[in-house]
Structures are given as C-alpha cells and as structure tokens.
Structure 1
Amino acid sequence: MTSTQPRPIAYEPPAAKSGTDADYDQIVEDLSKASVHRNFDPYIHIAWDAPEMAIVPNDPRWILDPQVDPVGKHPWYKALPQEKQIEIGMWRQANVAKVGLQFESILIRGLLQYASKLKNGDKRFRYVTHESKEECQHTLMFQEMVNRVGMDVPGMPRGMRVVDPIIPLFSTFWPTVFFFGVLAGEEPIDHLQKDFLRAGANVHPVMAAVMELHVAEEARHISFAHHHLRATVPTRSRPTRFVLSMAMPIVMRVLCGAIARPPVQFRREFDVPDEVFKEMFWKSEDSQNFLSDVFGDVRMLAEQCGLMNPVSRRIWKALGIDGRSSRYRSEPSYNAR
C-alpha cells in the first residue's frame, strides 16, 4: 500500500569542516560523551553519613597543610595553639567550599546564557549544558560540606558578591572574556586541590571526598575552556587579540584574589594582624610562588593562543602572576618540586 503522506525532505548533514574546526568539534563531542558515561552525584558517591565522615571538635585533620595552603605555611598560624589552628582550618576550608559554590553559580548562569545564543546543530550546546548540570551537582556538594562543618562563612569578598548578577552577562557580549573568567575561577581551586592530593595531606575525609570528586570533573571543564579558547581566539582580528592579551592577565589576577584570598571576616574572626594577612596574600616568597604557580597552565594557553607579547608580558609580571609556563596541562607546581 502506497503512503499518502508527503515524503519528508531528506536530511543532509552539514558539510564537514576541515583542520582545526573539525578537530575542535570532535573534541567537544568527545567531552559530551564523557559527561554521559562518567559523572558523579554527591549524594550517591559521597557517603556523608558514614562514621568516618563525622565532623567532630578538635579533629587535627582540619589543620591547614604547611606545604600547600598559604595560611598554613605562615609562621603566625604555625605558632597558634592546636585548637585555634583547627578552628581556623575548618573556617577556611568551609569558606573555600562556599567560594566554589558561588563561582559555580556564576558559571552555570553564564554557560546557559551562552548556550541560548548558539545556533541549531552547534555541538557546544550539548557540552555546555552537560557542564552546567555537573556544576549544579558541585554546588550541592559544596553547600553540604559547609552545612556539615557548621560555620557561617560568607565565601567571596562582598564586592564580588555585589557584582555577581552582572558577570554572567559577559558570556553573551564578551564570550572570550567570560571564558577567561571561567579559567580564572577554576584554575586556582583546581590547582590548590591537586596540590593537596599530590602531597598526600592529612585532610578530613569529607574534604578529601569533595576534592577528589571535584578534581575529576573539573579536568573536563578546564579542558573544554582551553580547547575553546585555542580554537576561537586565533580567529579574532589582530587589534582584538591585542586587547584580549591585556585583558587575560587582569581577569586572572582579579578573580584569583577574590577566590583564593579570604574575605575581611576572616581577619576579624581570628584577629589576624594586617601585616600577617598581607604576607599570606601575597607579600611572602611562599605566597608569591603560589600565585605564580597557579597560572602556569594559563600562561601556556596564552602562548598557544598568541596572546603573549611584550606588552602583555609586562602586565603578567606587574600583577605578580608571571613565571615559567607549564609544559603540559596539570604539570605539578615548579616551586613545589
């Protein structure tokens, strides 16, 4: 029997792209598939209520690591009584989790706005939506940790919390700058967590579980941002690339300060002397090394994108975030070896 329905127009896939564009599309597709086959739910993959996960007073595993954390390295912190070190360690690590939550919230809103402007068939839509879903899981995980630690931490400095609603707009109007911001937020947290895990620091099981889950998925998110910028920045005009080369280190430094440096409440809560706080962030040699090491991967990316030039190099140096570029992503800290 012959169908009386009109035959649909045969679907013709878009012509295959060549070179870098085709490679980039394949990478985005691979990352999307990885998001389906390897993802985590903090309420399934973290045993929050297991006996060993209990958060109890005076647990020395909350003491900040003297080899990794900028506060933990400082002589002022090391000279405090153990009870005070534990209290400060709990506050700081809970606050880092709160900062992570706030940053992920900004990222989710920006990614969804970015996705809404993509054309039908663009492979990035699927990936950035997958990433947004994963970042939602991270916000749940970070808030659960904060709640269990039981300290009313503010997270980012007040100024950043005020401009929070504005930052996602960059994904629509200045997407390249937005993805600079993505890396400026993700790289410091990822760097610090990887250093903790590599050092085998004696951290509380709750903190260890959160870091391990976060690092596993952030590797995919950071990979996308690197590939995206490598694929898109070189297509910009020369004047635009010059402006971007100057914007990149500024975005990195501003957001790193907002994420890695505790807010004013930290100083007030624990009577941290002003000079001590300045040494921790970023006057001491240890803290300057940390600030430089955090952006080794990003400096490598800037070179790959053609965003390192005599002017931009001076800006990186003036902001204290210059140094040797990584030879490969996630290379261990040069100053830590």
Structure 2
Amino acid sequence: MTRTLKVTDREKTADRLLNSSADKFYDPEVDIDWSAPLVEGLRYTPEHRCSLYGTELWERMTPEQRVDLSRHEVASIASVGLWFEILLMQMLLKEVYRSDPTTKHAQYALTEVADECRHSTMFARMVERIGCPPYGPRRYVHQLGKLLPVIGYGPALYGSILVAEEVLDRLQRETMADEGVQPLVRMVNRIHVLEEARHVRFAREEVVRGMERMTRKELPYQRWLLATTSMFITRSLINPDVYAAVGLDRDEAHKAALANPNWQGSIRWAGERIMKFLDEVGLVGAPGTRAWRRSFLIG
C-alpha cells in the first residue's frame, strides 16, 4: 500500500487550529440576518445540481416547480448534514473520552464539537426559515446511524467525517459563489465552508496517522466501514419526500434521480478531492468497492 502523505506533529497542528479557531469564528445567531426576506424567484441551489436536472421529469416541470424543488433539496441536504454533524460530535466525544484532556489534540476536538453545535443550529434555522420540513435521512438510515459512533474507530471514523464534510464543502463552495442563489443560503454555506477548513485539516492528519498504525488484519474492516458509511451519506442527501412536496410522484422521481447521470456526476465531482486522498492512503478497495460504486463517488 502506497503512503505518500507526511505524518505531521499532532500537538503542533492542534495548537495552530486552536489559535485559528480563536481568531476567526462565526456566530450564526449574530452573523446571519434571519429576518431578511427571501428573494422571490431566486433558486436555493445551482440549477444543474438539482437531482432531476436533465431528466424527462425536469423538462416537464414548470419554472416555479424547479425553484421549489431546489428549496426542498437544500433543506434535505442541510438536515442530513445536521444529522451527520450530530453523529460526528458523538464520535469526537468518544475520542476525547479516552484521551488526555490536557493535550491540544483533545482540546481542539472539543473546539470542533463547539463549532458543530453552532453549525447544527444554523442548518436547523435555515430549514425553518425557508419553510421546509427537516427531512433528514430515511428512517432506517437514521436508525442505522446510531451504530456508527459504536462501531466506528480509527481511519474509517475520520474518513467518514471527511466524506461528509468534503462532499458538502465542494457543493457549498459552488453555491456560495452563485449570485442566482438565495442570499441566506449563500451566507449559511459561506460560514460552513470557512470553518470546516480547519476540521478537514484535523481529520486528514488523523487518517494518515491511523493508517500508519493500521495492521493488515484490520484494513478490510476499515475499508468496508468507510465505503458503507459513505454510501449511506451520499444516497441520503436527497430524501425522496422532497419530490412529493413539489407535486411529483415520489417513487418515480426518486428512481429517476438515482439513474440520472447528471446527479451521479455531481456527487462524483463533489467527492473528487476526498476520494483521491482516501485512495492514496489505501482506504479505497475491497471489500468496499461495491459500496463505493453505489455511492456514486467512483464510476
């Protein structure tokens, strides 16, 4: 297995991230004007990132339906992001529980938990403000999610965090730069992107360190767990109930979205950077290959 990434000093990295967190952080309660009116006619995501874009169903939808679908889809993605943030916090606290709390590493993990609390509140407020239900993942995925903080450890734990964070990060970077998207959504995305950069650095280094200690016997489990978790993350981004909310047949639209080359391509595009990293460190491969393909993160 090829390892090309340098293992850096954990405490030095954590100290830099702590200083950065103290220097620049956002309070969504203060930094977002939640009372500002939504702009009539503006989309909530870039049009070409809608799950049905390019399908026959899309061609039959009215312009109003397309905008409304983008509203419900951004609510679904935000509420799924919130669900995973909560799992992430549980996993980080599990790590802190068995660590020395006087280390910078443990203290930064706690700082990240504080960031994620604010992000979760921000996502919840955005969903409420745009008038959508908190879709979240489907019920069986929500129930399965309870297992992740229990069975997750090592590189797969931090790798799962990275897949969720970096897929969202790339989608959000594109959205926050699109002036055709609602200002509220763009601001929420901007805050999340700027603060998540620290979290990504922290998690990437933990993956590298974990892989340096990984035994050949453990590797198949780590690969399987990461691939399976990633599949559930990407497949859950758009809850099928969003289609019924805009007047479409739920099952027909869900099937069309999953088979849509444009939507599959969007997920693959969003995951390009993280998949390259995970492949370089040796976490992409059997027995997780089938799950990776079902996630749309690889072709």
Residue in 1 that maps onto 2:10: 24
Which residue does the alignment assign to 1:187? Answer: 166
Corresponding residue for residue 286 of structure 1: 262
Unaligned runs of 5+ in 2: none
- CA–CA distance in 2 between the matches of 1:120 and 1:65? 43
> What are the within-5 Å matches in structure 2 for residues 51-200 of structure 1?
53-55=36-38, 59-62=40-43, 64-170=45-151, 174-198=153-177, 200=178
In the TM superposition, 1:163-242 aligns within 5 A as: 163-170=144-151, 174-198=153-177, 200-242=178-220
CA offsets, 1:289-332, max 9 Å, x none? 12322322222222332334576667645654226xxxxxxxxx
Shift of 1:63: 5.7
Match of 1:14 in 2: none
Offset, 1:62? 2.8
Contact 2:166 2:270 in 1 (8 A): yes
SS at match of 1:292: helix
| Contact 1:114–1:175 under 8 Å retained in 2 | no
Q: 1:177 offset after TM fit, Å? A: 2.6
2:32 matches 1:46: yes
Query: CA 1:309 to 1:166, structure 2 compared with 1: closer, same or farther past 3 Å?
Result: closer
Q: Which has the larger radius of gyration?
A: 1
SS of the aligned residue for 1:61 comes to coil
Corresponding residue of 1:8: none
Q: Deviation of residue 204 (structure 1)?
A: 0.8
Report what 2:22 is aligned to.
36
Deviation at 1:167, TM superposition (A): 2.7
Identity of paired residues, percent?
A: 21
Q: 1:240 to 1:194 in 2, by over 3 A?
A: same
- Of structures 1 and 2, the one with the larger relative CO (CA 8 A, separation 6+) is 2
The whole-number CA distance in structure 1 between the counterparts of 2:293 and 2:128 is 39
Q: In 2 relative to 1, CA 201–257 (structure 1 residues): closer, same or farther, beyond 3 Å?
A: farther
How many residue pairs were aligned?
Answer: 294
Contact 2:44/2:182 (<8 A) preserved: no
- Counterpart-to-counterpart distance in 2, 1:43 and 1:235: 42
8 Å Cα contact 1:233-1:305 kept in structure 2: yes
The answer as to whether partners of 1:32 and 1:127 remain within 8 angstroms in 2 is yes
Task: Return 5+ residue gaps in structure 1 as ranges.
Answer: 1-18, 324-337
Shift of the 216–71 alpha-carbon distance from structure 1 to 2, 3 Å rule, reads farther
> What letter corresponds to residue 293 of structure 1 in structure 2?
W
CA distance in 2, matches of 1:256, 1:284: 14
Deviation at 1:21, TM superposition (A): 5.7
Listed one character per residue, the Cα deviations across residues 135-184 of structure 1 (whole Å, up to 9, x for unaligned) are: 1111111111122112223222111222343332245xx24332222123
AA in 2 matched with 1:235? R
User: Normalised by the size of structure 1, how large is the TM-score?
Assistant: 0.77
Comparing 130-139 with 288-297, which one deviates more in the overlay?
288-297
